[in-house]
Amino acid sequence: MADSTRAGDGAPTLHDVAAAAGVSFSTVSNVIRNHPHVREATRKRVLDAIAAVGYRPNLVARNLRSGRSGVIGLAVPELNQSYFAQLADDVIRAAGAEGYVVLVEQTGGRRERERELLRDPRLALTDGTLISPLGLTRDDAKDIALGRPVVVLGQPLLDEADHLTMQHEAAARAATTHLIEGGRNRIVLLGAHPAEQGTTASLRRDGYRAALEAAGLATPDELVVPIEVWDRHHGAAAMWELLRSGTVFDAVFAMNDDLALGAMRALHERGVHMPADVAVIGFDDIDEGRYSYPSLSTVDPGRRQIAELAVAMLLERIMGTTDAAPGRMVAPDFRIVVRESSTT
Amino acid sequence: MADSTRAGDGAPTLHDVAAAAGVSFSTVSNVIRNHPHVREATRKRVLDAIAAVGYRPNLVARNLRSGRSGVIGLAVPELNQSYFAQLADDVIRAAGAEGYVVLVEQTGGRRERERELLRDPRLALTDGTLISPLGLTRDDAKDIALGRPVVVLGQPLLDEADHLTMQHEAAARAATTHLIEGGRNRIVLLGAHPAEQGTTASLRRDGYRAALEAAGLATPDELVVPIEVWDRHHGAAAMWELLRSGTVFDAVFAMNDDLALGAMRALHERGVHMPADVAVIGFDDIDEGRYSYPSLSTVDPGRRQIAELAVAMLLERIMGTTDAAPGRMVAPDFRIVVRESSTT
DNA sequence: TCGTCGGTTTACAACGTTGCAATTGCAACG
DNA sequence: CGTTGCAATTGCAACGTTGTAAACCGACGA
């Protein structure tokens, strides 16, 4: 039980085990690594010694030797946004199934922070990175040299990285079309990021516009509401402001479910009925939307599959089981989920 | 710009920089470590070489040398439960402010997994662990020898660890009392874990019972609803079942907000009005509760402060800035947050 | 001119592994 | 009874740092 062989306060090492078992530390290493040529009696003696001194391999040393850490990094805007919490959940599970653990970083969706993260030597602790950028543009990323496996969840951004792209535009278009087919024609877009190109926000906005144009509807500027941070709070605040302004509308397409839920709260408070007065659809299919009142229509982008696919792509790079050039994959099909908030 | 000095595919090391700068690698190390005695000209030459070869320190090697990794582990049931997602958010922020990053593990609240995690050598990658156990009991934990900094969010569990305990019982009692003061007397407890002692669930149940007894109310068995997993789905399902059974009640105290939100959905679907017919209060004060309809009354346990305090306690152990025996801290005050769901 | 004393630079031994190369021991063989 | 062959064991050089001890080198005072 006791660890009488140990000196100082450090954890026992191979050498401590070796001393306890009366063999060289190489032999202990052989036992641990399942080296084929170890006599049964020796193996047992070593295993007993391991138990006796309470030895645990020092993973840091092992990593230094092997060049691998068994850790992947996941960078998301913030876990307080349900979509990313659930994405992180899925990623941790998928990675865990392959024996990897996950270091989670929050970017707040700020481009400087996203940039910094991709260059941060801290990431060298991980074998690779999965990043879901929000603010970063191709321009910002131009001079980033990675030299390590990275998978980007989003639009093509880095030449050296793999990309897993959602069908933002098509999905946004389908969501908007769903509202139009329900007879709506003054549809608010909640969460625009005006100045940007090639980001999640701009692609979804393009889809929204395309749907309206295809239906012969105009897209008045006052219906496109910019919101920097896509959380419930900002969704509610923006909706309050919109209601205060007296703008007339009969539907809302929110850039994500958090914004939609925040907006719904504001609509409730003003006594606006959903879906009778205003139909609402969000994006992401977070779990909450099933349980809200009214339950929230949304776009299911296949989050779970995306997480699994992204982890698989990253691990393939890490293990070097692929020699394909960095490329782009398009996420599996999205799906419009119709719930109460947009039922005609 | 180019890295012509490099051989092979490995990242450049101190030696590569040294070669490029024409100094010994020790000097490079001195520059990096801000050793006082380096001639200005030399420093500049080395810095240029660092930039030229694109050197980044190898953190794994640094960690091996220093015995520190700058990583802490956070073990929570699952990020899909909003409270833990927000806790993780807070912990990552608090740790980040001190220069630490966070490796997140999910336990699913399963005792075996929680046990395993505390013994897993994988944790050796981290400098310490913050764990929020759900299933683990003192008995389960009896034979766990840590030998490393651990802070437990919850009841005293491990002799070698620090504990940060919420005032579960008092808070649950206050929540229940709030419902009673609103004139309710058939109060459902949602989320009991029947057989357990000393866990979050049992302490909150004790608080619930104490409040009822103090008010001279009975606690009929049919009002105490056991639910294993505290998420929206199970909350809704349990409420459906309760409604189906014909049990009469006029209020619900849910063990957490997710359960409450799930239950509210079921109540909505059955046309039960809140708070008129049934008052609801949850626990945790997750962000969602502000935006639900009706907005959810809850117990604010001071999550943010708890996260910051827990990180501070853990870092104190890691840095060895305290030599106090492992002990227990009680979390700062909770607060009953009254919103629409329990307004009389 | 020599020794001393700074500041400056370099050498080197860890940190705890891994994995190959080298060594040992032993049995079967010629 | 010395080889050969092979299993079992051991030695040792990495992996890329940090930090201490040692070495170097002018300049300055004696």
Joined together, the tokens standing for residue B104 give: 């997140």
Distances (CA, A) of A85 to A77, A176, B80, B177, B233: 10, 26, 6, 33, 17
Is residue A205 very low, low, confident or very high in pLDDT (cuts 50, 70, 90)?
very high
The encoded tokens of residue A239 equal 């909706």
- pLDDT tens profile B279-290: 999 999 999 999
Question: Chain A, 177-236: which CBs lie within 7 Å of strand D?
Answer: none
Do A196 and A277 share a domain, yes or no? yes
Rg (CA), chain A: 26
- Does B122 contact A105 at a Cβ distance shorter than 8 Å? no
pLDDT confidence tier of residue A5, bands split at 50, 70 and 90: very low
Whether B173 is in a domain gets the answer yes
Q: What is the pLDDT of residue A60?
A: 93
Q: What's the pLDDT score for residue A97?
A: 94
The answer on pLDDT for A92 being more than 60 is yes
Strands B101-106 and A101-106: antiparallel
pLDDT attached to residue B197? 80
**Residue A5, in any domain of the structure:** no
Based on the fold, state whether residues A268 and A214 are members of the same structural domain. yes
Average confidence score pLDDT of chain B = 92
pLDDT digits (tens, 9 = 90+) for A6-16: 344 578 999 99
**The two structure tokens encoding residue A115:** 């940039």
Identify the CA nearest to A283 among candidates A311, A252, A253: A253
Contacts of B127 (CB under 8 A, 6+ apart): B68, B69, B70, B71, B72, B100, B148, B149, B318
For residues B177 and B283, membership in a common domain is answered with: yes
Instruction: Give DSSP secondary structure letters for A79-145.
Output: TTSHHHHHHHHHHHHHHHHTT-EEEEEE-TT-HHHHHHHHH-GGGGGSSEEEE--SS--TTTTTT--
Find tokens 């505290």 and name the residue.
B230
**Over residues A134-151, mean pLDDT:** 82
In this predicted structure, what is the pLDDT of residue B230? Answer: 92
Residues A83 and A141 in one domain: yes
Whole-number distance in Å between B65 CA and C14 C1': 8
Q: Give per-residue pLDDT as tens, B240-275.
A: 999 999 999 999 999 999 999 999 999 999 999 999
d(CA A86, CA B82): 9
Residue A73 sits in the same domain as residue A195: no
What per-residue confidence (pLDDT) applies to A30? Answer: 96
Q: Based on the domain organization, do A186 and A289 belong to the same domain?
A: yes
pLDDT, position A171: 97
Token readout for B26 is 């020790």
Contact B150, B141 (CB under 8 A): no
For residue A187, the cross-strand partners are A251
| pLDDT in the model for residue A273 | 97
Do residues A36 and A110 share a domain? no
Asked whether strand D has any atom less than 7 Å from the CB of A271, the reply is no
Are A153 and A74 members of one domain? yes
**A102 contacts on B by Cβ (under 8 Å):** 103-104
Nearest nucleic acid nucleotide to A46, CA to C1' distance: D9
| pLDDT at residue A7 in the model | 42
Question: A154: Cβ–Cβ under 8 A, 6 or more apart, which residues?
Answer: A132, A133, A163, A164, A165, A166, A199, A200
CATH number of the domain within which B74 lies: 3.40.50.2300
Q: How many CB atoms lie within 10 A of CB A42?
A: 16
Q: Give the pLDDT score at B121.
A: 59
Evaluate whether residue A279 is within a structural domain.
yes
The beta-carbon neighbor of B291 closest among A61, A265, A290 is: A265
On whether both B40 and B82 belong to a single domain, the answer is no
Residue A1 domain-assigned (yes or no): no
DSSP symbol at A222? G
Establish how many alpha carbons lie within 13 A of residue B247's alpha carbon, considering only the half-sphere containing its beta carbon.
22
Q: Examine the domain organization and report whether B134 and B239 are in the same domain.
A: no
Q: Is residue A63 part of a domain?
A: no
> A184 and A281 share a domain?
yes
Residue numbers in B near A59 (CB within 8 A): 121-122, 124-125
**Structural domain contains residue B208:** yes
Q: How much is the pLDDT for B7? A: 41
Instruction: Say what the pLDDT of residue B4 is.
Output: 36
Which residues of chain B have a pLDDT value below 50?
1-8
Q: Write the burial class of residue A183 (CB in 10 Å: 0-12 exposed, 13-18 middle, 19+ buried).
A: exposed
Q: What is the pLDDT of residue A10?
A: 75
Instruction: Determine the distance between A5 (CA) and D8 (C1') in angstroms.
Output: 26
Burial class of residue B7 (count of CB atoms within 10 Å of its CB; 0-12, 13-18, 19+): exposed
Q: Which of A201, A246, A203 is nearest to A223 (CA)?
A: A246
Which CATH number is B47's domain given?
A: 1.10.260.40
* Number of domains within chain A: 3
**Shared domain check, A252 and A274:** yes
Query: For A86 and D18, how far is CA from C1' in angstroms?
Result: 41
Does pLDDT of A1 surpass 70? no
Domain presence at residue A9: no
Residue range A294-307: mean pLDDT, rounded: 96
Nearest CA among B252, B104, B84 for reference residue B178: B252
- Do residue B57 and residue A262 have CB atoms under 8 angstroms apart? no
- How much is the pLDDT for B315? 95
| Residues whose beta carbon sits under 7 Å from strand C | A 10-11, 13-15, 25-26, 29, 32-33, 55-58, 61-62, 64-66; B 23-27, 29-30, 35-39, 41-42, 61, 64-65, 67
Through-space separation of residue A26 CA and nucleotide D11 C1' in angstroms = 8
* Residue to substitute from B93, B292, B295, interface A, most A β-carbons within 10 A: B292
Q: What is the pLDDT of residue B8?
A: 44
Q: Let me know if residue A4 belongs to a domain.
A: no
Q: Domain containing B160: what range?
A: 67-167+303-332
For chain A, the average pLDDT equals 92
